[in-house]
Structures are given as structure tokens and as C-alpha cells.
């Protein structure tokens, strides 16, 4: 029994490491692909934009509907709506649709802003429903029946629309009938507000530069990120329209249109600045929705993707890696639990050469995210400062593992949950402020993080105190301890402060 338990633990530990290694080396591959191809493709997109807009008469631009879904966003709703007035696009060739599901004072703010904008000659309407069925997906589906445009540009409430957005995005979709959507690159209004926004900005730069870029440049499947993009209305209808059976309706629709034979375009230089969550609890809320929705989409669509004749083998493989990448969270939790018994049993055997080689491969893989973050930051900002964020990135990745694991498990169980929007505060580069909306905070989850973090800390200290000849194994358990304890303590601090404010 003891032998069975020993090799069972070692086998499970190796299997967990192997899964994480596969996803880690995937980061290396897509980063190298991005670095090799991004300049040529960016130049091509810039050329297409210039040619389309050169000497084009106003009447020749297609009609676009700008859709702005909002739900109780008093801090930022007016800022978003008014930014639409700065668009460098013929005023009579676009309309503004505010999709308002709000139940608080945001409704009055939106109505006042709409009246002000209308007096300046803009075509604006406020679309409301008598329920929130299917949440954002339902609001988008409902509003489509009133849209005048052949193209639908979408922005969430925490964004500020840039003047060149329509002229640039329309140039990349209108001339190409097979293009369903153009996705822009998120930038960050409050990047330097605190350590958490800086590390989020580094992570999102990697997604929007490297991941989206590498997929697009290699003709692989990519996704619309829910905002900062423009859709061909007919492509949405052909793929079955907006559907609210997952929490990531954007990702769901993206894959359905690509299975339907349409293409999606990513434009690195289509900049879309937005606000980042500025506290741990708001970030957790956002990540729970993304993790659960991504896994729900994987469960819903992967069987269809595998059978789809419109997708080639490489596209199917990348779709699998993309839709299942949140599986890393429960694997990390399991790995953190297994490390202590693994170290105990490893002391009793002589590690074979093969295991040493495997561990070396795992160690190299552990630096893959840092490589991607650093290279992405260099391309986006022209400097190597993102490499300095690696310790904070480790804390972010490990600190969120329980939070995201719970979301993934809910998706596997088929448990449905409400679409919980991420609270915004209206912070920018020049102004940091606390919003009136608070994220849902879980004390039980924070306690679990601290308990598991303490267990990891015990494991980390124990392996070094033992001076085992195999002390390198489990080295990164220290990172798990750091991240989990930091996130758990920070969450508890937020909950306590929020309760004091209520009193």
C-alpha cells in the first residue's frame, strides 16, 4: 500500500507538471511567432487603412451603429457616451445606441447625456428592456433589431472611444466580405494607479499583443474580447446571433462565426483605452467570470470545433489551447497540495536521470509567461520594464488559482450563475478614485487562500530545512505561498474596510 501511495503521488505530481509544461511551452511558441510576424502584418494593416480612407467622400462610408451596453455604471457611463462625439467619422454615417439595463441613478445620467449629445446633431438613442434576460448578450440581441448600421461597433462602459476607431476598423472589415469582426488592442487608462493595475496591464499587453497577434498572423482562431471591436451584423445573424448560455458570449460568438467560415481580424494599432480593476476583489470578480465563461464555451463548442470541416488541424489545436487554458488553475491547486508528500517520498528514492531532465524542462517552462510578458511589453512600449514585473506576475498567477478553480469547477458541474459586472471607479492616469460600486467579496474564499498559502509556506520551508539532495523539486511552491497569502490577506482587508464603511 505504501509503495502504491508513493508512486501514485509521484505519478500525479508529474502528470500535473506535464500539463502545465504543455501550456507553458505554448507561450514560448506563440511569442516567437508574434515577434517574427508582427511588423510585416502591422505594416499591411496600416497600408489597407490608408488606401481605404485616402480621398474617400463622406457619403461613401458605410453606416455604423455604435452599441454601448451599460448596467449601473454611474462613474463612467457619461464619459463613454461623450467620447463617441470625438469620432473622426462622418456624423451622418453613424448612430449611437446606449443599451441601458441600469436600475440606479445611471439611468438619469444617461438620459441627460443623450439629450445634450442630440442637441449637437448626433443620432443617439437609448434602448431599454423590461428585464435583464441573458444579461449583456440579451441586451445586444435586443438592440440589433433597432440598429441602422450594417456594422456594429461595441464598447463597454469603462472604455474611452478614440477618434480614429471607426475609420480604422471600417477599413479592415468593409472591403472584405469574409471578415466578420475586427478586434482592437486594449490600452490602460490607470496602468500606474497601483501595483495591481501595473501587473494586470502587463498581463493584458501580453494577451492583446502576443496571443491575439500570433493567432491572427498565423491564420488561427482568435476571439472578440467583448469590447473595442466592430462586427458585420450579417455575420452575427448567420452564426445564430448572440446567445446567453455562457458568461463569455463574446468568445462563444467568435468561435461560431469562424466555424461558419468567416474570418476575424486583429489590429495591433487599433487602440482602445480602458480602466483596469483597481482592487483585488474587483479583479477576482472579473477573473471568475472569464474563467467560468471560457470553460463553459469550451464545453459547449469544442465537440463542434473538433468535427468542423471549415477549420484545419492547427486551428483546432489552438482553439483547444485557448478555450481550456483556465484548466491550469485547478492543476496548480492540485500541484500545491501534492508537493509536500511528493518531497517526502522523493527522499526515499534515488531520482532517475529521466526525472532530473523532466524537472529541468519544467523549470525552463516556468519562465515562459515571463518571457511572453517581457517581449510583449518591449513591443508595446519599446522598453524592457515588463520583465521587472515578473515577481508580481507570479503573485497574480498563483494568487488567483483558487478563485479561478472554483469558477472552472462550477462550469464543469453545469452550475449557472449571474453575470456579475466588474465595478468601475473612473480612475485614469491622472486621477485615482474609489468607486461607489463594490465587488462581491468572499471571506470563505480568502480564508481558503490563506490556509493553502500557509500549507505551501510550510512545504517550502520544510524542504529547505531538510537539506534534501532533491531540494530543487518543488522550488516554486514558495511562489504559490507568496501569491495565495498576499491575495487572501488583501481580500480580507478589503472586506473589513468595506464593512466599516457600511457601519
Average pLDDT over residues 425-447: 68
Q: How confident is the model at residue 472 (pLDDT cuts 50, 70, 90)?
A: low
Q: How confident is the model at residue 342 (pLDDT cuts 50, 70, 90)?
A: confident
Helix, strand, coil % over all residues of the chain, rounded to 5: 60, 10, 30
pLDDT tens-digit profile of 379-404?
998 877 666 666 777 788 899 999 99
> Would you put residue 171 in left (φ > 0), alpha (ψ -120 to 50) or beta?
alpha
The Cα angle at residue 199 between residues 194 and 202, in degrees rounded to 5: 130
Q: What top-level class would CATH report for the domain 37-195+225-279? A: alpha beta
Average pLDDT in the chain? 90
Is residue 410 scored above 60 in pLDDT?
A: yes
User: Model pTM greater than 0.95?
Assistant: no
* Cβ contacts of 248 within 8 Å, gap of 6 or more: 226, 289, 290, 293, 294, 296, 297
pLDDT of residue 7: 79
pLDDT tens-digit profile of 218-244?
999 999 999 999 999 999 999 999 999
pLDDT of residue 432: 61
Phi and psi, residue 379, nearest 5°:
-65, -40
Average pLDDT over residues 249-268: 97
pLDDT of residue 493: 85
Task: Give the residue, 471 or 158, on which the prediction is more confident.
Answer: 158
Distance CA 229, CA 63 (A): 15
Of 28-32, 181-185, 352-356, the one with minimum mean pLDDT is 352-356
Task: Give the residue, 108 or 427, on which the prediction is more confident.
Answer: 108
Beta bridge pairs of residue 232: 151
Reported in sequence order, the residue ranges of 221-316 that DSSP labels E, i.e. its strands, are: 229-232, 263-274
pLDDT of residue 503: 43
* Domain boundaries of the chain, sorted by first residue: 37-195+225-279
Reported in sequence order, the residue ranges of 233-389 that DSSP labels E, i.e. its strands, are: 263-274
pLDDT of residue 338: 92
Is residue 500 scored above 80 in pLDDT?
A: no
Is residue 178 scored above 60 in pLDDT?
A: yes
* Cβ contacts of 383 within 8 Å, gap of 6 or more: 377
Average pLDDT over residues 65-90: 96
pLDDT tens-digit profile of 474-485?
668 888 999 999
Q: Which of 101, 156, 252, 267 is catalytic?
A: 101
Q: Which of 156, 205, 250, 252 is catalytic?
A: 250
pLDDT tens-digit profile of 303-323?
999 999 999 999 999 999 999
Whether the CB-CB separation of 165 and 270 falls below 8 Å is answered with yes
Q: What is the DSSP letter of 422?
A: P
Residue identified by cell 472569464 is 290
Q: How confident is the model at residue 80 (pLDDT cuts 50, 70, 90)?
A: very high
Whether the CB-CB separation of 79 and 160 falls below 8 Å is answered with yes
pLDDT of residue 435: 59
250 is a catalytic site residue: yes
Is residue 366 scored above 90 in pLDDT?
A: no
Helices assigned H by DSSP within 54-155: 77-83, 106-118, 135-144
Amino acid at each position: 500500500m505504501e509503495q502504491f501511495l508513493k508512486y501514485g503521488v509521484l505519478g500525479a505530481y508529474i502528470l500535473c507538471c506535464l500539463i502545465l509544461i504543455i501550456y507553458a511551452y505554448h507561450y514560448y511558441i506563440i511569442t516567437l511567432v508574434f515577434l517574427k510576424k508582427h511588423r510585416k502584418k502591422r505594416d499591411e494593416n496600416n497600408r489597407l487603412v490608408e488606401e481605404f480612407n485616402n480621398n474617400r467622400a463622406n457619403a461613401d462610408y458605410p453606416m455604423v451603429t455604435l452599441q454601448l451596453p451599460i448596467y449601473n455604471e454611474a462613474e463612467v457611463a457619461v464619459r463613454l457616451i461623450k467620447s463617441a462625439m470625438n469620432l473622426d467619422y462622418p456624423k451622418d454615417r453613424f448612430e449611437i445606441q446606449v443599451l441601458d439595463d441600469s436600475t440606479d441613478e445611471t439611468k438619469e445620467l444617461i438620459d441627460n447625456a443623450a439629450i445634450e449629445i442630440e442637441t449637437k446633431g448626433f443620432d443617439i438613442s437609448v434602448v431599454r428592456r423590461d428585464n435583464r434576460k441573458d444579461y449583456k448578450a440579451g441586451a445586444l440581441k435586443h438592440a440589433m433589431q433597432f440598429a441602422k448600421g450594417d456594422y456594429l461597433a461595441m464598447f463597454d462602459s469603462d472604455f474611452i472611444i478614440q477618434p480614429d476607431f471607426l475609420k480604422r476598423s471600417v477599413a479592415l472589415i468593409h472591403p472584405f466580405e469574409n471578415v466578420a469582426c475586427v478586434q482592437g488592442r486594449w490600452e490602460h487608462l490607470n496602468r500606474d494607479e497601483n501595483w495591481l493595475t501595473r501587473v494586470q496591464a502587463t498581463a493584458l499587453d501580453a494577451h492583446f499583443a502576443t496571443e491575439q497577434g500570433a493567432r491572427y498572423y498565423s491564420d488561427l482562431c482568435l476571439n472578440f474580447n467583448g469590447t473595442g471591436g466592430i462586427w458585420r451584423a450579417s455575420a452575427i445573424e448567420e452564426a445564430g446571433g448572440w446567445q446567453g448560455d455562457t458568461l463569455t458570449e463574446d468568445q462563444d460568438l467568435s468561435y461560431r462565426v469562424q466555424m461558419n467560415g468567416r474570418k476575424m481580424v486583429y489590429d495591433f494599432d487599433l487602440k482602445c483605452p480602458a480602466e483596469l480593476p483597481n482592487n483585488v476583489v474587483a479583479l477576482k470578480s472579473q477573473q471568475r467570470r472569464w474563467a467560468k465563461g471560457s470553460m463553459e464555451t469550451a464545453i459547449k463548442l469544442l465537440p463542434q470545433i473538433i468535427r468542423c470541416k471549415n477549420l484545419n488541424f492547427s486551428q483546432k489545436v489552438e482553439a483547444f489551447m485557448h478555450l481550456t487554458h483556465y484548466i491550469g488553475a485547478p492543476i496548480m491547486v492540485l500541484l500545491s497540495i501534492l508537493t509536500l508528500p511528493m518531497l517526502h517520498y522523493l527522499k526515499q528514492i534515488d531520482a532517475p536521470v529521466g526525472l532530473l531532465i523532466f524537472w529541468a524542462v519544467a523549470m525552463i517552462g516556468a519562465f515562459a509567461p515571463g518571457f511572453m510578458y517581457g517581449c510583449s511589453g518591449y513591443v508595446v512600449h519599446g522598453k524592457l520594464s515588463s520583465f521587472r514585473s515578473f515577481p508580481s506576475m507570479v503573485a497574480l498567477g498563483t494568487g488567483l488559482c483558487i478563485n479561478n478553480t472554483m469558477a472552472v469547477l462550477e462550469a464543469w458541474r453545469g452550475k449557472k450563475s449571474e453575470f456579475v459586472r466588474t465595478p468601475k471607479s473612473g480612475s485614469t492616469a491622472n486621477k485615482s478614485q474609489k468607486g461607489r460600486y463594490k465587488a462581491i467579496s468572499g471571506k470563505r474564499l480568502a480564508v481558503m487562500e490563506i490556509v493553502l498559502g500557509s500549507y505551501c509556506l510550510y512545504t517550502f520551508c520544510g524542504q529547505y530545512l531538510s537539506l534534501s539532495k532533491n531540494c530543487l523539486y518543488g522550488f516554486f511552491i514558495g511562489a504559490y505561498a507568496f501569491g495565495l497569502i498576499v491575495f487572501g490577506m488583501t481580500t480580507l482587508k478589503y472586506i473589513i474596510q468595506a464593512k466599516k464603511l457600511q457601519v
